[in-house]
Structure 1
Amino acid sequence: MNVSVNAAAADPRPAAFYLRIVHGIKRRPWIARLLVIAALILMWEVAARYLVDPMFLSPPSRVATSFDMLFATPGVPAALQATLWELAVAFLISVVIGLPLGLAIGLSRFSYRSFMPIVMLLYGTPQITILPIFILYFGIGPASKIAFGVSHGIFPIVITVVAGVQNIKPILLTSARSMGANRWQIFRWVVFPHMIPSFFAGMRLGMTGVLLGVLLAELYVSTAGIGYFTTMFTQNFDSTRLLGLITTLAAMAVILNEAVRRAELHFGRWRRFEAGRQA
């Protein structure tokens, strides 16, 4: 009897199975990501059904089945299109202004010492406090949302571009100049490849900031757009459609972030090749 118990206790098969699961998760990080998301959704479901008043929190099962009702709400599809357009324009303007501004500040020691403190001061200022100024100058139409989104998205791009340029080894720039490279060639073959990681990190941060700025402006001054419907659903205690709208915005942000990540992988593929060659 004791021999059989000891044999069962010493059976290595459960431990080996557990180790295989752990190693499988380590090799596939997306499995851990899905497990965390599933756990959060399960906690949300339990809290919404048994702990919180349904008027204030709808379970995810109900939210998932309410998207037809959400998109059937008059004005919601048009509001999504308007918000996406404002987001795209604000992000494009942030990149077009932020990239050359960051290069101008980062490539010149005088510009860095003169203007970088000003950039950091403006970045540290809570932009929500100057929203009335944007409304005063741009009105309550799309222009104020786009401008306020740009004010949130441009600074992360400028700061990360400056950081990427500052990390370039001076010997690389000196070597390029000594071989007769002009400014465009130096930027194309030396500066741009080395600032790709920081630049795309800034773009991802800037996209998040643009989305935040556009939605904040819509919450305060819009008579249409996602912010308007967010306020309306909140005031009507319609948590189901409110959470469905928030889920739609989250999905939009994930898709845009993934698009930027794929662009980073495309333009930075030489770094992976170089790392693999050194390994």
Structure 2
Amino acid sequence: MSAQTMQTTGAKGLFKTPAKARLAVIATGIAVWEIGAHMYGDDDFLPTASRTALAVVELLQRPTIWSALGYMAGALLVGFAIAMVFGTVLGMIIGRNRTAYLTFFPIIVLLYTIPQVTLLPLFVLAFGVGTEVKIVYGLTHGFFPIVVCVIAGAQNINPVLLTAAHSMGASRRQIFQRIVFPFIVPSLFTGMRLGMSAVLIGVILAELYASQRGVGYYIRHYSETFESHNLFALVLLVSVTGIVMNEILRRAERHFSRWRL
């Protein structure tokens, strides 16, 4: 077997397994970051990957950082929960009623297109600089992806199945459990995963501009004091938080979609 054939076979074997492919992409990205920062970077602006990793360890030894992460996570969870409940209920109502769809869906799309960062000063005036503004501003980011996805899922429910279930005397609970919910699960969890990321962005933005605590406050502080290694480390910790929550939602989606496997 020639060397070229062996290399081709090895590459195919690597990318046949998604986990190996992901690890290869991540390792390549870290290597490019490390080498590029050494060759072209300035430590005041672009620290190396190894320096950032050390900064992560240092930050995790500070109680103030743990407090900031907990503060952010609490606002994120509350805002996401509220956005999920209201987005799901409203999405089902609008998606299953033609009159409600024609009336309210254009309004929702219109509101969704407004750059919400321009509204942050209004939220600060209305709710102050406490926890409330982070929760409200975060949930307004997550609400729209959820409600739009649920509306799309509710409109895709096969009406033939609903008619058949009604004709066979199925109760509302049975219809929801056996037909409606399975149909909207993919759209619902797509909206939830998009909404969770959007809520996280909203909370961080609120902390950046309207807080004296939280992750956003420390991001602004490290940026203004040119502590780029701590800035990158904190961004990395926020990214890990988002990845963990996304993975929890992905596993929940697999659990509720077992009938599709």
Q: Which residue of 2 aligns with 1:133?
A: 122
The corresponding residue for 1:173 is 162
Could you tell me which residue of structure 1 aligns to residue 30 of structure 2?
A: 41
Aligned equivalent of 1:9: none
Cα distance in 1, alignment partners of residues 120 and 80 from structure 2 = 18
Q: Which TM-score applies when normalising by structure 1?
A: 0.90
- The CA deviation at 1:109 is 0.9
| TM-superposition CA deviations, 1:174-208 (whole Å, max 9, x none) | 11111122333221111100111111111100000
Structure 1: give runs of 5+ residues left out of the alignment: 1-11, 273-279
Which of these residues, 59, 63, 76, is aligned with residue 87 of structure 1? 76
Cα distance, 1:211 vs. partner?
A: 0.3
Structure 1 partner of 2:135: 146
Rg: which structure is higher? 1
Q: How do 1:2-41 and structure 2 match up within 5 A?
A: 12-41=1-30
Q: Aligned with 1:58: secondary structure?
A: coil
1:143 maps to a residue whose letter is E
Per the alignment, residue 244 of structure 2 pairs with 255
Cα deviation for residue 170 of structure 1 reads 1.2
Distance 1:247 1:234 in 2: 14
- Report the 3-state secondary structure (helix = DSSP H, G, I; strand = E; otherwise coil) of the residue aligned with 1:125: coil
What is the aligned counterpart of 1:164 among 142, 153, 159?
153
Q: Percent identity?
A: 45
**1:260-271 matches, cutoff 5 A:** 260-271=249-260
CA distance in 1, matches of 2:15, 2:57: 38
One-letter identity of the residue aligned with 1:124:
T
TM-score, structure 2 length as denominator?
A: 0.96
Counterpart CA distance in 2 for 1:21 and 1:50 is: 31
Q: Secondary structure at the match of 2:169?
A: coil
1:122-158 CA distances to partner (integer Å, 9 max, x unpaired)? 1111111111121122111000000000000011110
- Per the alignment, residue 208 of structure 1 pairs with 197
Partner Cα separation in structure 1 for residue 109 and residue 153 of structure 2: 16
Contact map agreement 2:14 2:20 (CA 8 A) in 1: yes
Deviation at 1:255, TM superposition (A): 0.5
1:110 positional shift: 0.9
Q: Tell me how far 1:19 sits from its aligned partner.
A: 3.8
- What secondary structure, in the 3-state scheme, does the structure 2 residue paired with 1:66 have? helix
How many residues matched? 261
Q: State the one-letter code of the partner of 1:234.
A: S
Unaligned runs of 5+ in 2: none
**Cα distance, 1:39 vs. partner?**
1.4
